[in-house]
Structure 1
């Protein structure tokens, strides 16, 4: 697993975590703020979520639990409207600049030039991932789908959050479906919760920032990419 070069094969797959890896900020936080603003809901809804998220992290709650709670904000929402707002949100972020983490974006483009299959693996909202995949020209998305009943989001997920071990399970399913070999796959992440995904691939790469994950990466001879620059 310390090998950081892909071998020659018919099928190569590159898996990319999104928040903090491919993007310089949390798409989940960013989109929620945009969403509540556009719907004229009180900004306190967003601020309360940020505080709750930070408190749960400090208290050691599993990321899976924190991630699942996020989707409660969309209870009762029309999926078509959410998808439209996600498209507008991404346009706003791209116009502002600095949205993508350039070292990882360079890697993604390199894999596309090679002809590798590029897959986003993220716990973020599927509507946001859809527009990111369209903008980046990626091939596939692995994420948990929000539950829909009678044409509305319930605020729950239809499956487990796409965090931790779930990412590895999803990646292995993609590898099997396309007849690839794990040794011929690459994976990119930024947090210790991405470790199961990284271990699936023959060429793991880590965005420097999480001390625990960065230490493991260096100990295993994995590539360590530059950290996300501080926000202006």
Structure 2
């Protein structure tokens, strides 16, 4: 998309962006799982993270739907203290975001351009808030639509509240947010994604952009 398209002020709009491999180049959930478990529990934690990743990969390869794989992933957080996860997530983000190649350059630049024109950035992701809040702060996102994890006191239960934020659930959340902003025309809004599962979300806006590997760096 030419940068010149963003140079003329427009009516208020929302800009929806997927996160993993759209705004950032990594798969945040799997990367953070290894970072957290190894950091807190040492070699035993690192081995556990590797087993979880291998099991998930095998199940998806065997045909497990992505929504079910997402639920299986979050079961790994059962019993983990919320405060510890939040603290380690900020450490993870500080380290990873400081490295070259963390952001998908073209998408990050487009979001900066949209913000400069007064648009509100919305992150839409199957990831969860501890990982997404620092990113939202960094890119100036005004909204975060993401997975909600169940808690029991100060600990995660490993269960999700509601559906995994993939495919049609992304569409539902986008529609819900647009409905809360009736002064904004969806035709004026933008959406960024990298995967066919983002198409339901992208179909809700007037300007949909599918991000390719050439945008990474």
Q: Given the two structures, how large is their TM-score scaled by the length of structure 2?
A: 0.90
Structure 2: 5+ residue stretches without partners:
none
Deviations 1:195-214 (A, max 9, x none): 101111100001125xxxxx
Q: Over residues 38-77 of structure 1, what are the superposed CA-to-partner deviations in whole Å (9 max), with x where a residue is unaligned?
A: 1114312111122122222222221111111111111111
- Provide Cα deviations, 1:108-143, integer angstroms capped at 9, x if missing partner: 111111111100000012110011111111101001
SS of equivalent residue, structure 2 residue 171: helix
Counterpart in the other structure of 2:70: 67
Offset from partner CA, 1:131-189 (integer Å, 9 cap, x none)? 11111111010012100112210001111110000001101111111122210111100
The answer to whether the 8 Å contact 1:8/1:184 transfers is: no
Match of 2:34 in 1: 33
- Within 5 Å, which residues of 2 pair with 1:9-158? 10-40=11-41, 41-158=44-161
* Residue 9 of structure 1: how far off its partner (Å): 5.4
Say how many residue pairs are matched. Answer: 209
Of residues 181, 186, 202, the one that matches 1:182 is 186
Provide the C-alpha distance between the structure 1 equivalents of 2:9 and 2:70, rounded to a whole number of angstroms: 37
Q: Please state if 1:228 is matched with 2:207.
A: no
- What are the ranges of 5 or more consecutive residues in structure 1 without an aligned counterpart? 210-225
Cα distance in 2 for partners of 1:154, 1:12 equals 37
Contact 2:148 2:160 in 1 (8 A): yes
TM-score (norm 1): 0.85
| CA RMSD after TM alignment | 1.7
